[in-house]
Chain A
Amino acid sequence: MAVSPNIAGITDPEGLKKALIDAQYLADDALATATYLGLALGKPLLLEGAPGVGKTEAAKALGGVLGRSVIRLQCFEGIDAAAALYEWNYPQQMLAIRQAVEGHVNLYSDDYLLERPLLQALRNPSGTLLLIDEIDRSDHEFEAFLLEFLSDFTISIPETGTVRATQAPVVVLTSNRTRDLHEALRRRCVYHWIDYPDAALEAQIVMTRASSVARGTAAAVVASVGLLRAEPLAKPPGVAETVEWAETATLLNQQGARWPEAFMRSIGVALKDHDDLIYMSDRLSAILRGEAV
Chain B
Amino acid sequence: MTLPRALQPFFRLPQVLRDAGFAISPDQTIDFVQGVGLLGPRDITDIWRAGRALFSIPQNRLAEYDAIFRAVFLDQIMFASVGDDEDNDVDAYEPTGDVGSIDAQDDNSEVGAEATVVERLGQRSLTDRDDTAMDRIKREAARALPRRVSYRRRSVRKGNLLDMRRTLREAARRDGDVLRLWETKRKLRQRRVLLLIDVSGSMKERSETMLRLVQAADHAETFTFGHV
Interface residues of A (CB under 8 A from B): 3, 5, 12-13, 29-30, 33-34, 36-38, 40-41, 43, 46, 48, 177, 180, 183, 186-187, 189-193, 195
Q: Decide if B56 touches A37 in the complex (CB within 8 Å).
A: no
Q: Is there a chain A Cβ closer than 8 Å to B115's Cβ?
A: no
Which of B23-31, B70-78, B183-191 contacts its partner?
A: B23-31
> Shortest Cβ distance from B66 into chain A, in angstroms?
13
Q: Decide if A33 touches B31 in the complex (CB within 8 Å).
A: no
Q: Decide if A183 touches B23 in the complex (CB within 8 Å).
A: yes
Bound CA–CA A13/B25 (angstroms): 25
User: In the complex, what residues of B have CB within 8 A of residue A190's CB?
Assistant: 31, 53-54, 56
Q: Decide if B31 touches A41 in the complex (CB within 8 Å).
A: yes
Q: Decide if B25 touches A33 in the complex (CB within 8 Å).
A: no
Q: Decide if B53 touches A187 in the complex (CB within 8 Å).
A: no
> Shortest Cβ distance from B30 into chain A, in angstroms?
9
Q: Decide if A40 touches B28 in the complex (CB within 8 Å).
A: no
User: Can you list 8 A-B pairs with a CB-CB distance of less than 8 A?
Assistant: A13-B39, A34-B52, A36-B39, A37-B38, A37-B53, A41-B31, A48-B58, A190-B54
B38 contacts which of A36, A48, A192 (Cβ < 8 Å)?
A36
Q: Decide if A33 touches B28 in the complex (CB within 8 Å).
A: no
Interface residues of B (CB under 8 A from A): 23-25, 27-28, 31, 34-35, 38-39, 46, 49-50, 52-59, 62
User: In the complex, what residues of B have CB within 8 A of residue A33's CB?
Assistant: 39, 46, 49-50, 53
> Shortest Cβ distance from B36 into chain A, in angstroms?
9
Q: Decide if B50 touches A193 in the complex (CB within 8 Å).
A: no
Q: Decide if B34 touches A186 in the complex (CB within 8 Å).
A: no
Q: Decide if B59 touches A48 in the complex (CB within 8 Å).
A: yes
User: In the complex, what residues of A have CB within 8 A of residue B54's CB?
Assistant: 37, 41, 190-191
> Shortest Cβ distance from B25 into chain A, in angstroms?
5
Having A29-B49, A33-B39, A36-B39, one finds 6 other A-B pairs with CB under 8 Å, namely A33-B50, A41-B38, A48-B59, A191-B55, A192-B53, A193-B59
Bound CA–CA A127/B99 (angstroms): 51
User: In the complex, what residues of A have CB within 8 A of residue B58's CB?
Assistant: 48, 180, 186, 191, 193
A186 contacts which of B35, B39, B56 (Cβ < 8 Å)?
B56
A34 contacts which of B24, B28, B49 (Cβ < 8 Å)?
B49
Q: Decide if A191 touches B34 in the complex (CB within 8 Å).
A: no
B interface SS class: helix
User: In the complex, what residues of A have CB within 8 A of residue B59's CB?
Assistant: 48, 177, 193, 195
Bound CA–CA A202/B75 (angstroms): 36
Bound CA–CA A186/B59 (angstroms): 13
- The 9 A-B residue pairs with the shortest CB-CB distance, nearest first, are A191-B56, A34-B53, A186-B56, A193-B59, A183-B23, A33-B49, A37-B35, A190-B53, A40-B38
> Shortest Cβ distance from B6 into chain A, in angstroms?
21
Bound CA–CA A5/B28 (angstroms): 18
Which residue of chain B has the shortest Cβ distance to A187 in the bound complex? B25
User: In the complex, what residues of B have CB within 8 A of residue A192's CB?
Assistant: 53
A187 contacts which of B27, B50, B62 (Cβ < 8 Å)?
B27
Q: Decide if B34 touches A3 in the complex (CB within 8 Å).
A: yes
Bound CA–CA A46/B58 (angstroms): 11
Q: Decide if B56 touches A187 in the complex (CB within 8 Å).
A: yes
User: In the complex, what residues of B have CB within 8 A of residue A3's CB?
Assistant: 34, 38
B39 contacts which of A37, A43, A193 (Cβ < 8 Å)?
A37
Q: Decide if A191 touches B52 in the complex (CB within 8 Å).
A: yes
Q: Decide if A46 touches B56 in the complex (CB within 8 Å).
A: yes
Bound CA–CA A48/B59 (angstroms): 9
Q: Decide if A189 touches B49 in the complex (CB within 8 Å).
A: no
Bound CA–CA A191/B55 (angstroms): 8
A5 contacts which of B38, B50, B53, B57 (Cβ < 8 Å)?
B38
